[in-house]
A and B are shown apart, each in its own frame.
Chain A
Amino acid sequence: MKGLKLSRVLTYVGAVLMALWILVPIWLIAVSAFSTRQGIFDFPKALLPNPFSADTMSFFLGATNVLPSAGRSVVVALITIVISTLIGAPAGYALARFNFRGRDVFRLAIVSTRAFPIVILSIPIAVAYLQLGINDNVFSLALMHCALALPFTILVTSSVFAGVPKDLEEAAETLGCSPLQAFMRVVLPLALPGLAAATLFTFVLSWNEVFASVILTSRNRTLPALLVAQLDESPLNYKYAGGFFLLAPSMVFMLFIRKYLFTLWGRVSR
Chain B
Amino acid sequence: MTSRRTNLTPFLLVAPALVFMAIFFAYPMVEAFGLAFRDNDTGALTLNYFQKMVSDVQFQPALTTTLLLIIILIPVQFAVALTMALLVNAKLKGASLFLYIYAIPLAVSELAAGIVWFNIFTNNGFLNSLLVQFGLIERPFLFLSYQNQGWLILAVVLAEAWRATSIIMVILVSGLQSIPSDYLEAAEVFGADQFRKITKVILPLLRPSLQVALILRTILAFQVFGVALAVAGSGMSLLAGEAYKWYYSIRNPNVAAAYASVILILSIASTVVFLVGLRSKNGEAL
**Are B223 and A214 in contact, with the CB atoms below 8 A?**
no
Chain A interface residue number, banded? 35 or more
| Pair count A-B, CB < 8 A | 289
**Contact mask for chain A residues 223-244; partner B; CB cutoff 8 A; 1 contact, 0 none:** 0100110011000100110111
**Contact mask for chain A residues 91-123; partner B; CB cutoff 8 A; 1 contact, 0 none:** 101110110100100101101111111111111
The interface residues of chain A lying within 8 Å CB-to-CB of B126 are 28, 45
Q: Given that A119-B263, A120-B260, A147-B24 are contacting pairs, would A240 and B115 also be in contact in the complex, using a CB cutoff of 8 Å?
A: yes
| CB of A108, distance to nearest CB on chain B (Å) | 7
Q: Does A23 contact B (CB under 8 A)?
A: yes
Interface positions of B from 268 to 286, Cβ below 8 Å from A = 286
CA of A114 to CA of B217, assembled, Å = 11
Interface positions of A from 229 to 262, Cβ below 8 Å from B = 231-232, 236, 239-240, 242-244, 246-247, 249-251, 253-255, 257-258, 261-262
Interface positions of B from 94 to 146, Cβ below 8 Å from A = 96, 98-120, 122, 124-126, 128-130, 132-133, 140
| CB of B2, distance to nearest CB on chain A (Å) | 11
Contact partner of B102 (CB less than 8 A), chosen from A18, A100, A128, A250, is: A18
| CB of B138, distance to nearest CB on chain A (Å) | 12
Q: Given that A87-B20, A240-B119 are contacting pairs, would A119 and B13 also be in contact in the complex, using a CB cutoff of 8 Å?
A: no
| CB of A157, distance to nearest CB on chain B (Å) | 11
The interface residues of chain B lying within 8 Å CB-to-CB of A126 are 247, 253
| CB of A249, distance to nearest CB on chain B (Å) | 8
CA of A75 to CA of B272, assembled, Å = 38
A contact residues vs B (CB 8 Å cutoff): 7, 11-12, 14-15, 18-19, 21-23, 25-26, 28-29, 32, 41-45, 86-88, 90-91, 93-95, 97-98, 100, 103, 106, 108-109, 111-128, 143-144, 146-147, 150, 154, 179, 204, 207-211, 214-215, 224, 227-228, 231-232, 236, 239-240, 242-244, 246-247, 249-251, 253-255, 257-258, 261-262, 264-267, 269-270
Known: A25-B162, A204-B107, A265-B167. 4 other contacts (CB 8 A): A86-B16, A90-B17, A100-B7, A117-B267
